[in-house]
C-alpha cells in the first residue's frame, strides 16, 4: 500500500524512521511518452550514505528516471520506495517534503532575491507581526553555510554570484530541507576544477552524514572520483549496477553503448596545406589580449584552457559576434574586418557555439528549419523564394549522413536528444561549405556514441581541407583530435604544443600557471 | 565538400509531404463550433438560419476586414517575439492625412483647397508612406536602441493619435472623391484583406523573409550567429506592419467617406486578439497567417452572432474577452503537447 507524502512527512517528523535496506528504491518502473517508451522495467537502488551515479547515453532514460524520483513525472507502472515504504510522488513539492531534493542542471534560483531569501522561500521565519524576520533568516543561512563550509554572503542578490556559487546555494537549499536524498544533474558542467573539488568535498561530507546522492554525469573520471556505485541504462532499459571500484572505464563504455568503441578519436594524418586563417594581436578590451595564431588547411587547432580563460570569447570575436577592439585577421593572406556573423559566413567561416540552447537551436522550429537557416543567406533562394524541394532534399541527405535519429525532418528540434540536436547544428554549418570551422565544446553534454560520430565528422572535415579550430574542456578530446594545441589562461595565450609533445600535464601547466 | 554516408546509417522515413494535422485545424473547429451554436440558437429563438444568409456573412467579414488587414502585420511582428500596440493609432493618423489628399473640389472646407480632385492613387500612396514611416520609426527604435517593442509601440500609440488630432485640430476630414470612396464600397475591403493575407501567407511560408522572421522569433541569438542581420530584418517587419496599418486606415476612411481623429481606437487590441486566437504564440517563433484569418473571422462571427441574437452590446465585449483567454489556454495546451520531454 502506498503512503501519501503527508503521511511520510509526519513519519519523518516523528523521528520513527523505518529502517530499510535501501534509502530509495524503484522497481519495475515504466514510463511512456506519446510514441516512445522512455523507461521499461527499470530498477534502481540507492544505499544510505552513498553516491550513486546514473550512466547512459542521452536518451537512455536516466533523466526520465531522475524526474520520476523527484516527483516531476509519475510512472505508468512500478513502485518507488523511500526507506522501504512505498510512496507516490505527485509533484516536486511532494518529493521535497518526503525528503528528496533535486538540483537541476538549469539552476532554479531567483536572480533578484538574496541568497537567504532564495533558500528559505516559502518557509521564511516570521516575527511576531507576521512579517519576514530577515535577521533570523540571515543567521539561519549563516549556520547552514558554516556547516557546509560555504563562503557566500547570505545578503547578496543571487544575480551577482558565479555559476559555481549558485550551485552551492542550490545544494544548501536542498540540505536545508533535511533531505535524505539529493539528486544532482550534471552539477560540474559549468565549474572550474577548483570549484569541482569544493563541490566534491561537500558531497563527501553529506555522504558521511548518511545522505544518499543520485549523481548524473557524462564525465568518466568524476565517476571514479566521487561515486561509490553506478547503474547503467541503455535505450530505456536497466543494464546493471556495479561498485565503481570493480570496473574500468572501458567496461562502463561497453555497458553504455552495448558495443566496443575501438577508436574514440579517429584522428587521421591528413596533408596540411596553406595558412587559411591568421590572427595577429587580436584584443577584446577587458576580456583577452594579443591573441595570435595561424591555422592551416586540414589542420585541427585545439584550444585548451580553464573556464573563464577567454577561449570562447576569442571564438566569438573571430566570428564577429563581439567584434575585436584591435588586432588583425587575415583569411588566405587577405586582411578582413569581421564586423558581424553575416560577414564571417560570407568569408566561409562557420561557428558551432558552446551553448546549444542559448545560441544554437531554434527550439520551437523543426529540424529542416534549423538546418537550412545559415545556408539560406546566399544559396537555395531565387528571387526571395526558398527553393523548397532542393533544400529539403539536401537537408535530408545531410541528416542521413550525420545519422540524426528522427522519423522525418518535421520534428521539432527540442524533442531530440542533445547529441542529435548537435548533429543538426553541425549539419547547419556543413551545408555552408565552410573553409574555417570553429567548434566550441562540440561534444559537451552528449553521449558517448554521438561523441564518436562527431569526432569522425570533424576528422572528415579536416581531410577535406577545412581549417578547424576546436575549443574543448575535455582533455582527452583535445589531446586526441588536435594537430596543435593552443593553451589560454586569463585572456592570454600561454603556449602552443605540437601533437607529439602534448600531454595532459603540459597542457595543465600552461592552463593553470 | 562531400561527407561519405556512414554505413548502416538509419534511413529517414520516406518523405512526408503532409506534416501532421495542420495546426489551424483546432481553431477552425472552434470557428465551426461557434457558428453552429449560433445556428441552433437562431432556430430556437429567432426562427431563422444564421449561416444561410449570404448578406449577413458578407457584412460579417466586411466588418472585420480592417482588423484582418492589421492583424496580418501584427502576426508577423508577434512571430518575431515583438508586439505592436500602435496600429490603431496609425489607422487614425493615416486616415486623417490620406483623406486630406482625397477631397473633392465640390467640398467647401478642404484641408488643402489647391490639392483637390487628385486621382485616388495619391492619397493611397500618402497613406502607405505615413503608415510605413510610423513602422520604420517603431522598427528602428526597437532594433537599434534595444528598447522593448511594448514601449516603442506604446510611444507610437500615443503620438500617432496625437498627430491625428493635431492635423485638423480635431475636425473631421470629409468630402472625398468618388474614386477614393470606391475602395471602401461593396466587398472591396474583404478583397483587400484576403489579397494581403495571401501575399503574406506566401511570404512567411515560402520566402527567405519568412524563414528569417520565424528564426528571429525562435531564438534571436542563434539567428544572429546564423548570419541573419536581425536589426535590418526587424525594421522590415515593423515597416510591413506599419504599411498594413496605413492600408487599414485608407480602407476605413474610404468606407466611411470621411476621416476622424478617433478612427481605429482599440483596433490594435482586436488585431492582437485575432492573431492570438489564430494560434500565434506571444513568445515568438510560432504562428501562421491562415490561423490569423480564422481568428479574425471568429471575431466577426462573434459580433455578428450577438447582433443576430439581439444580445446587448455590453455582453458582447464581456464574452469576447473570455474567448480570447480560452484561445490562449488552448494554445498553451497545444504547445505543451508538441514538446514531448
Give A116: exposed, middle or buried? Use CB within 10 Å, 0-12, 13-18, 19+. Answer: buried
* Closest CA–CA distance from residue A44 to any residue of chain B (Å): 21
* Neighbouring residues of A38: CB distance < 8 A, sequence distance ≥ 6: A31, A32, A61, A64, A236
Distance CA B246, CA B111 (A): 20
Q: Mean pLDDT throughout A136-156?
A: 91
pLDDT at B10: 43
Contact with chain B for residue A344, Cβ under 8 A: yes
**R_g of chain A, CA atoms, integer Å:** 25
**Mean pLDDT throughout A125-130?**
88
What 3-state class would DSSP assign to B216?
helix
The grid coordinates of residue B84 equal 505592436
Q: Tell me, what's the pLDDT at B254?
A: 92
Q: What is the pLDDT of residue A10?
A: 61
Query: Among A4-18, A486-500, B9-23, B73-87, which is the least confidently predicted range?
Result: B9-23
How confident is residue B269, by pLDDT bands cut at 50, 70 and 90? very high
Kindly state the DSSP code that residue A357 receives in the 8-state scheme: I
User: What's the CA gap between A422 and A413, in Å, rounded?
Assistant: 10
Q: What is the pLDDT of residues B211-252, one digit of tens each?
A: 999 999 999 999 999 999 999 999 999 999 999 999 999 999
- The nearest alpha carbon in chain B to A381 belongs to B208
Do the beta carbons of residue B241 and residue B88 sit within 8 Å?
no
How is B251-264 classified by DSSP, letter by letter? HHHHHHTEE-TTTT
H or E element in which residue B328 lies: helix B313-338
| A364 class by beta-carbon count within 10 Å (0-12 exposed, 13-18 middle, 19+ buried) | buried
Cell 561498485: give the residue. Answer: A243
Within a domain: residue A50?
Answer: no
In a domain, A178, yes or no: no
- Interface A–B counts its CB contacts (< 8 A) at 140
- Among residues 438-457 of chain A, which lie with CB inside 8 Å of chain B? 453, 456-457
Q: Which residue in B208, B211, B225 is closest to A321 by CB distance?
A: B225
pLDDT bucket at A259, cuts 50 / 70 / 90: low
**Per-residue confidence (pLDDT) for residue B7, from 0 to 100:** 39
State the pLDDT confidence band at B3, using cuts at 50, 70 and 90: very low
Percent of chain A with pLDDT over 70: 91
Residue A211's closest CA among A246, A174, A244, A240?
A: A174
Q: Is the pLDDT of residue A429 over 90?
A: yes
**Nearest Cα residue to A272 out of A510, A466, A20:** A466
Single pTM value for the model:
0.76
CB contact under 8 A, B225 and A430: no
* Burial of B307: CB neighbours in 10 Å, binned 0-12, 13-18, 19+: middle
- CA torsion A209-A210-A215-A221 (nearest 10°) is 70
CB neighbour list of residue B25: distance below 8 Å, 6 or more residues apart:
none
Cβ-defined contact of A453 to B6 (cutoff 8 Å)? yes
**Model pLDDT, residue A474:** 76
CA angle A77, A83, A89 (to 5 degrees): 45
Q: Which of B89, B254, B249 is nearest to B183 (CA)?
A: B254
C-alpha pair distances (Å), A401 with each of A94, A297, A489 = 45, 23, 37
> What's the gap in Å between the CA of B134 and the closest CA on chain A?
25
Of B1, B11, B16, the CB nearest to A433: B1
Distance CA A335, CA B141 (A): 34
- Chain A, 163 to 192: residues with Cβ < 8 Å from chain B are none
Residue A317 has a pLDDT of: 94
Which candidate from B218, B227, B341 shows the least CB-CB separation from A342?
Answer: B227
Is residue A11 pLDDT above 90, yes or no? Answer: no
The rounded Cα B64 to chain-centroid distance in angstroms is 10
Distance, in Å, from the CA atom of A477 to the CA atom of A444, rounded to the nearest integer, reads 11
- Say what the pLDDT of residue B13 is: 44
- Mean pLDDT is highest, among A111-125, A485-499, B207-221, for B207-221
Q: Confirm whether A201 is domain-assigned.
A: no
Chain B residues interacting with chain A (CB cutoff of 8 angstroms)? 1-6, 9-13, 15-16, 19-20, 206-209, 211-212, 214-215, 218-219, 221-229, 281, 283-286, 337-341
The helix/strand/coil state of A450 is helix
Identify the residue whose cell numbers are 506519446. A34
- Its domain, for residue A435, covers 275-512
Long-range contacts of A357-361 (CB under 8 A, 24+ apart): A358/B219, A358/B221, A358/B222, A359/B219, A359/B221, A359/B222, A359/B225, A360/A421, A360/A425, A360/B222, A360/B225, A361/A413, A361/A414, A361/A421, A361/A424, A361/A425, A361/B219, A361/B222
Q: Mutate which of A185, A270, A376, A421 to disrupt the B interface (most B C-beta within 10 Å)?
A: A376
Pick the range with the lowest mean pLDDT from A87-91, B276-280, B327-331.
B327-331
User: Do the Cβ atoms of A477 and A446 come closer than 8 Å?
Assistant: no
The string of DSSP codes covering A377-435 is GTSSEETTEE-HHHHHHHHHHHHHHTT---SSTTSBGGGS-HHHHHHHHHHHHHTT--S
Highest mean pLDDT of the ranges A85-99, A246-260, B2-16: A85-99
Structural domain includes residue A196:
no
Determine the Cα–Cα distance for residues A260 and A257; give it in Å rounded to an integer.
8
pLDDT value at A13 more than 70: no
Closest-CA residue in chain A for B215? Answer: A362
CB atoms within 10 A of CB A190: 17
Q: What is the pLDDT of residues B119-165, one digit of tens each?
A: 888 899 999 999 999 999 999 999 999 999 999 999 999 999 999 99
Q: Grid cell 510560432 — which residue?
A: B286
- In this structure, are residues B282 and B78 in contact, taking their beta carbons and an 8 Å threshold? yes
C-alpha cell at B81: 517575439
Domain assignment present for residue A49? The answer is no
Interchain CB distance below 8 Å, B225 and A36: no
Helix (H) or strand (E) holding A464, with range, is none
The owner of cell 501562421 is B288
Q: To the nearest whole number, what is the mean pLDDT of chain A?
A: 86
Chain A residues whose beta carbon lies within 8 Å of the beta carbon of residue B220: none
pLDDT at A349 over 70: yes
Specify the 3-state DSSP secondary structure of A469.
strand
How close does chain A come to B49, measured CA to CA in Å? 42
Compute the average pLDDT of residues A172-196: 84
Please give the domain boundaries of chain B with CATH numbers for all domains: 25-338 (1.10.3470)
Q: Say yes or no to pLDDT of A361 above 70.
A: yes
Nearest to B211 among A373, A405, A456 (CB): A373
Cα separation, B56 vs B36, in Å, equals 15
Contact criterion met (CB < 8 Å) for B9 and A410: no
Summarised one tens digit per residue, pLDDT across range B282-323 is 889 999 999 999 999 998 888 888 888 888 878 888 888 887
Are the Cβ atoms of B227 and A360 closer than 8 angstroms?
Answer: no
Answer whether A361 touches B (CB < 8 Å): yes
pLDDT at A105: 66
| A488 three-class SS | strand
Q: How many whole angstroms separate alpha carbon A484 and alpha carbon A283?
A: 22
Instruction: Please give the pLDDT value at position A264.
Output: 62
pLDDT in the model for residue B108? 72
Pairwise CB contact (< 8 Å): B10 & A461? no
Residue A377, chain B, CB below 8 Å: the answer is yes
What single string gives the DSSP state of each residue in B264-325?
TTTHHHHHHHHHHHTT--TTSS---HHHHHHHHHHHHHHHHHHHHTT--HHHHHHHHHHHHH
Q: Which of A373, A387, A431 to mutate to test the interface with B (most CBs of B within 10 A)?
A: A373
Give a yes or no: residue A423 inside a domain. yes
The CATH number that applies at residue A309 is 3.40.50.300
HSE-CB for B248 with a 13 A CA cutoff: 38
The answer to whether position A327 is within a domain reads yes
The answer to whether residue A167 is domain-embedded is no
Predicted interface score ipTM higher than 0.85: no
DSSP category for residue A328: E
Beta A484-489 vs A300-304: how paired, if at all?
A: parallel
**Window from A145-154, A436-445, A449-458, B321-330 with minimum mean pLDDT:** B321-330
pLDDT tens per residue across span A433-455 = 999 999 999 988 777 778 888 89
| List of residues 6+ apart from B29 with CB closer than 8 A | none
Residue B186 banded pLDDT, cuts 50, 70, 90: confident
Structure confidence at residue B166 as a pLDDT band (50, 70, 90): very high
Tally of CB atoms within 10 A around A49:
15
Q: What's the total number of domains in chain A? A: 1
pLDDT the model gives residue A260: 47
Considering only CB atoms, B208 lies closest to which of A381, A392, A405, namely: A381
Determine contact, residues A304/A487, Cβ cutoff 8 Å.
yes
What is the distance in angstroms between the Cα of A355 and the nearest Cα belonging to chain B? 10
Residues 6+ apart with CB under 8 A from A296: A272, A273, A274, A275, A276, A467
- For A349, which DSSP code? E
Non-local (6+) Cβ contacts of A373 within 8 A are A362, A428, B211, B212, B215, B223, B226, B228
**Taking residues A202-225, what's their average pLDDT?**
87
Q: Choose, out of A34, A322, A341, the residue to mutate when testing the contact with B (most B CBs < 10 Å).
A: A341
Amino acid at each position: 500500500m502506498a503512503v501519501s507524502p503527508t503521511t511520510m512527512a509526519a513519519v519523518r517528523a516523528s523521528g520513527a524512521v523505518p529502517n530499510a535496506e535501501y534509502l530509495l528504491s524503484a522497481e519495475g518502473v515504466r514510463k511512456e511518452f506519446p510514441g516512445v517508451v522512455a523507461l521499461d522495467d527499470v530498477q534502481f537502488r540507492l544505499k544510505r550514505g552513498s553516491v550513486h551515479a546514473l550512466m547512459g547515453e542521452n536518451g537512455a532514460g536516466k533523466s526520465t528516471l531522475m524526474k520520476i524520483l523527484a516527483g516531476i513525472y509519475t510512472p505508468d507502472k512500478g513502485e518507488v520506495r523511500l526507506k522501504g515504504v512505498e510512496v507516490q510522488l505527485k509533484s516536486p513539492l511532494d518529493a521535497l517534503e518526503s525528503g528528496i531534493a533535486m538540483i537541476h542542471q538549469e539552476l532554479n534560483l531567483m536572480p533578484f532575491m538574496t541568497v537567504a531569501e532564495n533558500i528559505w522561500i516559502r518557509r521564511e521565519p516570521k516575527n511576531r507581526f507576521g512579517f519576514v524576520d530577515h535577521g533570523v533568516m540571515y543567521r539561519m543561512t549563516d549556520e547552514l553555510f558554516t556547516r557546509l563550509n560555504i563562503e557566500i554572503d547570505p545578503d547578496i542578490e543571487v544575480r551577482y554570484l558565479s555559476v559555481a556559487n549558485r550551485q552551492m546555494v542550490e545544494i544548501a537549499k536542498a540540505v536545508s530541507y533535511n533531505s535524505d536524498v539529493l539528486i544532482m544533474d550534471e552539477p560540474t558542467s559549468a565549474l572550474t576544477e577548483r570549484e569541482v573539488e569544493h563541490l566534491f568535498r561537500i558531497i563527501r561530507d553529506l555522504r558521511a552524514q548518511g545522505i544518499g546522492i543520485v549523481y548524473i554525469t557524462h564525465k568518466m573520471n568524476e565517476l571514479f572520483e566521487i561515486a561509490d556505485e553506478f547503474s547503467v541504462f541503455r535505450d530505456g532499459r536497466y543494464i546493471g549496477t556495479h561498485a565503481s571500484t570493480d570496473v574500468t572505464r572501458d567496461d562502463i563504455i561497453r555497458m553504455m553503448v552495448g558495443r566496443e568503441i575501438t577508436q574514440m578519436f579517429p584522428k587521421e594524418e591528413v596533408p596540411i596545406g596553406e595558412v587559411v586563417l591568421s590572427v595577429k594581436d587580436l584584443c577584446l578590451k577587458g576580456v583577452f589580449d594579443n591573441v595570435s595564431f595561424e591555422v592551416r588547411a586540414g589542420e585541427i587547432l585545439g584550444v585548451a584552457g580553464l573556464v573563464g580563460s577567454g577561449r570562447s570569447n576569442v571564438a566569438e570575436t573571430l566570428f564577429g559576434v563581439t567584434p575585436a577592439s584591435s588586432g588583425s585577421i587575415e583569411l588566405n593572406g587577405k586582411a578582413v574586418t569581421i564586423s558581424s556573423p553575416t560577414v564571417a559566413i560570407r568569408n566561409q567561416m562557420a561557428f558551432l557555439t558552446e551553448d546549444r540552447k542559448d545560441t544554437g537551436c531554434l527550439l520551437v522550429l523543426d529540424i529542416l528549419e534549423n538546418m537550412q537557416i545559415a545556408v539560406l543567406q546566399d544559396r537555395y533562394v531565387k528571387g526571395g523564394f526558398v527553393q523548397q524541394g532542393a533544400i529539403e532534399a539536401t537537408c535530408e541527405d545531410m541528416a542521413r549522413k550525420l545519422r540524426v535519429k528522427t522519423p522525418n525532418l518535421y520534428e521539432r528540434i527540442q524533442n531530440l536528444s542533445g547529441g542529435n540536436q548537435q548533429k543538426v547544428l553541425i549539419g547547419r554549418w556543413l551545408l555552408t561549405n565552410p573553409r574555417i570551422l570553429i567548434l566550441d565544446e562540440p561534444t559537451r553534454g552528449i553521449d558517448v556514441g554521438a561523441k564518436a560520430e562527431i569526432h569522425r565528422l570533424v576528422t572528415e572535415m579536416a581531410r577535406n581541407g577545412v581549417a578547424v579550430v576546436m575549443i574543448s574542456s575535455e582533455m582527452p578530446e583535445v589531446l586526441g583530435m588536435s594537430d596543435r594545441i593552443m593553451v589560454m589562461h586569463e585572456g592570454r595565450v600561454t603556449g602552443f604544443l605540437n601533437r607529439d609533445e602534448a600531454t595532459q600535464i603540459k597542457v595543465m601547466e600552461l592552463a593553470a600557471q | 565538400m562531400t561527407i561519405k554516408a556512414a554505413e548502416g546509417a538509419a534511413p529517414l522515413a520516406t518523405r512526408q509531404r503532409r506534416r501532421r494535422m495542420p495546426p489551424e485545424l483546432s481553431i477552425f473547429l472552434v470557428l465551426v463550433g461557434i457558428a453552429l451554436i449560433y445556428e441552433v440558437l437562431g432556430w430556437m429563438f429567432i426562427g431563422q438560419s444564421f449561416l444561410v444568409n449570404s448578406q449577413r456573412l458578407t457584412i460579417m467579414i466586411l466588418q472585420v476586414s480592417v482588423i484582418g488587414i492589421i492583424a496580418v502585420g501584427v502576426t508577423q511582428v508577434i512571430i518575431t517575439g515583438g508586439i505592436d500596440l500602435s496600429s490603431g493609432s496609425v489607422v487614425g493618423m493615416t486616415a486623417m492625412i490620406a483623406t486630406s489628399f482625397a477631397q473633392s473640389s465640390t467640398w467647401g472646407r478642404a484641408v488643402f483647397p489647391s490639392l483637390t480632385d487628385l486621382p485616388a492613387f495619391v492619397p493611397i500612396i500618402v497613406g502607405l508612406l505615413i503608415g510605413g514611416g510610423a513602422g520604420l520609426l517603431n522598427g528602428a527604435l526597437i532594433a537599434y536602441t534595444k528598447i522593448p517593442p511594448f514601449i516603442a509601440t506604446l510611444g507610437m500609440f500615443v503620438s500617432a493619435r496625437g498627430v491625428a488630432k493635431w492635423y485638423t485640430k480635431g475636425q473631421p476630414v470629409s468630402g472625398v472623391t468618388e474614386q477614393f470612396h470606391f475602395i471602401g464600397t461593396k466587398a472591396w475591403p474583404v478583397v483587400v484583406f484576403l489579397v494581403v493575407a495571401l501575399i503574406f501567407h506566401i511570404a512567411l511560408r515560402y520566402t527567405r523573409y519568412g524563414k528569417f522572421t520565424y528564426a528571429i522569433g525562435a531564438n534571436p541569438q542563434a539567428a544572429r550567429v546564423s548570419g541573419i542581420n536581425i536589426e535590418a530584418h526587424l525594421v522590415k517587419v515593423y515597416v510591413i506592419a506599419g504599411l498594413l496599418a496605413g492600408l487599414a486606415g485608407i480602407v476605413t476612411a474610404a468606407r466611411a467617406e470621411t476621416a476622424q481623429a478617433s478612427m481605429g481606437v482599440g483596433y490594435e487590441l482586436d488585431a492582437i486578439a485575432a492573431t492570438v486566437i489564430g494560434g500565434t504564440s506571444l513568445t515568438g517563433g510560432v504562428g501562421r497567417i491562415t490561423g490569423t484569418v480564422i481568428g479574425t473571422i471568429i471575431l466577426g462571427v462573434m459580433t455578428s452572432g450577438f447582433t443576430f441574437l439581439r444580445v446587448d452590446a455590453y455582453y458582447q465585449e464581456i464574452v469576447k474577452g473570455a474567448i480570447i483567454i480560452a484561445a490562449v489556454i488552448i494554445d498553451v495546451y497545444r504547445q505543451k503537447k508538441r514538446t514531448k520531454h
